Amino acid sequence: MSNLGRREFLRIAGVAAAGAAAVRYAPGAPVLAQTPLTLRIMWWGSKNRHDRTIKVLEMYQAAHPGIKFTYEFTGFNDYWTRLATQAAGGNLPDIIQQDYARLVEWEGNRLMVPLDDFVKDGTIDLSRVPKVSIDGGRVNGKLYAINLGNNSQSILLDTDAFKRAGVPLPDQKWTWQDFEQIALAFRQKLGIFGAGYEFSDQQVWKSLYIARGQWVFSRDGRSLAVTDDGPFVEHLKMLLRMQKAEAIPSLQQEISEYHSNIEAQPIVQGKAAMSYQWSNQAVAEAAAAGKGRNYKLVHLPRPKGGKPSNYLKPSQFFSITSHSKHPKEAAAVIDYFTNSIEANRVLLAERGVPIAPKIQEALKPLLQPVELETIRYVARVQTDSSPLPPPDPEAFAAFQNNVFNPLVIGPVLLGKISPEEGAKVLRVEGNRVLAQKS
Amino acid sequence: MITNQFRTARPETGRRERRRVRLGEHHLAGYLFIAPWLIGFFAFTFIPIAASLVLAFTNYNILSPLPHWIGVRNFERMFSHDPRYWVSVRQTFYFAFTSVPLKLAFALALAMLMTAPRRLVGVYRAAYYLPSIVGANVAVAVMWRQIFGTDGVVNAVLAAAGLPAHTSWLGNPATAVWTVIALAVWEFGSPMLIFLAGLKQIPAELYEAAAIDGAGVLARFTRVTFPLLTPIIFFNFVVQMIFGFTVFTSAFIISNGTGSPLDTLLFYPLYLYQKGFRDFEMGYAAAMAWVLLVVVALLTALIFKSSRYWVFYAQEEA
């Protein structure tokens, strides 16, 4: 008890001393003509991204003594929780990293400011940036977000494993049947998984229909638009076959091993020859796997005779929130990320392929093989892809977290219900959740 | 005589105090001293609780500026349109009603071992209490994930013993919930300490008398130890039950926040968290919180009511 008391006392004393120090220094600080104004900025990502982003912010600060940054960063899931509470408290950061899936919701709640004026007056220079790379950031005709890099779904191939197994590399028009055969070959020839987790991801589900020229959600986002369960059932059956043959890890293994950290990925550990991810994430995966390994990126498989499963997507954006008191200064920072060659020498396309052509050119000689491969890959997808689908509906997160994963994918892949039943649950429960959101 | 003195003395001090109240001196210091607590209580406990009661009747996505009133629709939805809600209720009851008895049995057994006057018994007590100090935090839950992982200690031990080494304790819906129950049972330290104190209260004469009457170990436990310990068991049971219904950290970390596999780890507080902070349905989450409060209060009342049938207070007979 006395011990606790002492500790408590020390803590209080410490806080008091810090407070006193703050009071003492604040008035003493010289009031310059331009007291640095503080911009708050927040992003999500991996450790790799945090280090690079912080370095760029420090460079900007050094070049602009009038600007000071305070920043926060987290992983993807905590990010939205933290932002939402800040939004409720009325103190959002000036600049936030924004996601394609959340744009509509954020615009609906008037939490972002339109950037068109800053583009017009040249604060953000988007001249020579192709229209397709800008338009993803528009909602109802207004530009709310600047694309930080382009992205597409991809399969990362460990080319050394392919060589060892004597399996030829697939070409970009490969089908899901090819995928299954190739994955099985790795189990038979090398005794490893053909591919890792994530083929039951809802992104893949969406792509099954994109390859058939359909968008899974209705225009108003309040119901499912696809009525044909066939492609989804077929896909689930394939995953069950592959699980059984140990061509991919089972869902059981995935739950117990996959901690959402990249080091646990089978391809990183050499336990699989292929993996599914967004193309910019391949860089982090290859980095985690270590030097001396060789990779290639290839399109997501498509159905036989189908259109491309891929589309080109803004990996993420920067937006300025409506709580910002210095939107113009914030816009200048976004321009630095978009157009500064020295900043991009640090960022190195980790957020996706930069949208400004001059930056892409400037980066090429600096890049590691995998980073270079992502740039080339995105260029390949540009020539062979389906159009960018509309943003996800407002209830998408609820749909994914309360229906798609727990009621469909889990029960089907753990063998509790059949793929046909799973597809039915998805339609019934999915429509209910989508309609519920007000 | 003595009581009389007190009776005559009392009114005087009382009058003196009343005068001070009127003057308002010396009480001011008192109010100042409790002000931090009062401010803290109102700002961080009372007002949020009151706010959550209001929010329970609204639809509030924290991004939008204002919640809007929807009456009892949240409760309707909870009870009749939300299959995962009932899964979370079922799993929470399952967890509480398996982990609490197991934990108490463990704590009692260990406490009885600890009462024996052995060398180093202090060290043992400290060692067994340790998990309760470090327990129920993120680091322990992360460690638990490792222990029950495919390449974890549990499988290694099983393999060494020549038993089938299960592939995945955490991924299998039949075993996942038991890893969390095991974690809860492992944190038996504080009920154990309370049992220890209770055991020390039982007079040694009773055991001696029982031994002379020829009672064996089992009879001594069922006829002496257990009945005299029921007030302590009752206390531990109530406290642990409340903990059991509010389990969160372990399930959150072990299932990566999802409650998988097959929602077997979707305990009520975890689902509540998902609704509030992942799906941003604050009104619904607040409604869930109030239902939890009522259910736990009812259960506690029920345990209190039942106590007169099985809890034995020595004073009653004296």
Residues B43-85: pLDDT tens digits? 999 999 999 999 999 998 888 778 889 999 999 999 988 889 9
Kindly report, residue by residue over B107-130, the tens digit of the pLDDT: 999 898 888 777 788 888 888 888
DSSP-assigned letter for residue A311: B
Kindly report, residue by residue over A93-111, the tens digit of the pLDDT: 999 999 988 888 898 889 9
pLDDT number for residue A259: 61
pLDDT number for residue B4: 46
Kindly report, residue by residue over A14-70, the tens digit of the pLDDT: 444 444 444 434 444 444 445 789 999 999 988 888 999 999 999 999 999 999 999
Tell me the sheet residues that pair with A139. A142
Query: Least CA distance to A400: which residue of chain B?
Result: B279
Which contiguous run of DSSP H or E holds residue A137?
none
Query: Least CA distance to B145: which residue of chain A?
Result: A256
Cβ-contact A342, A364 below 8 angstroms: no
pLDDT number for residue A22: 42
Distance from CA of B227 to the nearest CA of A (A): 32
Q: Best mutation site among B33, B63, B82 for testing chain A: the one with the most A CBs within 10 Å?
A: B63
Cβ-contact A344, A243 below 8 angstroms: no
Interface contact B263, partner A, CB < 8 A? yes
Chain B partners within 8 Å of A402 (Cβ):
84, 279
Rama region for A200: left / alpha / beta (φ>0; ψ in -120 to 50; rest): alpha
**Residue A195 in this model has a pLDDT that exceeds 90:** yes
Kindly report the average pLDDT of chain A as a whole number.
Answer: 87
CB count within 10 Å of CB B140 equals 18
Q: B18: pLDDT confidence band, cut at 50, 70 and 90?
A: low
Kindly report, residue by residue over B126-154, the tens digit of the pLDDT: 888 887 777 667 888 888 888 888 778 88
SS3 A425: helix
pLDDT number for residue B316: 55
Interface contact B175, partner A, CB < 8 A? no
* Residue % of chain B over a pLDDT of 70: 89
**Residue A2 in this model has a pLDDT that exceeds 70:** no
pLDDT number for residue B16: 54
pLDDT, mean of residues A214-241: 93
**Phi, psi (rounded to 5 degrees) for A394:** -60, -35
Residue B95 CA: distances (Å) to CA of A46, B100, B288: 35, 8, 18
In this complex, do B260 and A438 lie within 8 Å of one another by their Cβ atoms?
no
pLDDT number for residue A165: 93
pLDDT number for residue B21: 52
Most distant CA pair in chain B, distance:
82
Counting every residue written for chain B, the total comes to 318
- This complex has an ipTM of 0.77
pLDDT number for residue A282: 87
Residues in contact with A195: Cβ distance below 8 Å, sequence separation at least 6, in sequence order: A155, A179, A183, A242, A247, A248, A266, A272, A273, A274, A275, A276
The beta-carbon neighbor of A410 closest among B59, B81, B261 is: B261
Distance from CA of B248 to the nearest CA of A (A): 16
Q: B41: pLDDT confidence band, cut at 50, 70 and 90?
A: very high
Q: Best mutation site among A81, A86, A244, A256 for testing chain B: the one with the most B CBs within 10 Å?
A: A256
Half-sphere exposure of B66 (CA within 13 A, CB side): 3
Most trustworthy range by pLDDT among A263-277, B35-49, B255-269 = B35-49
Chain B partners within 8 Å of A401 (Cβ):
258, 274, 278-279
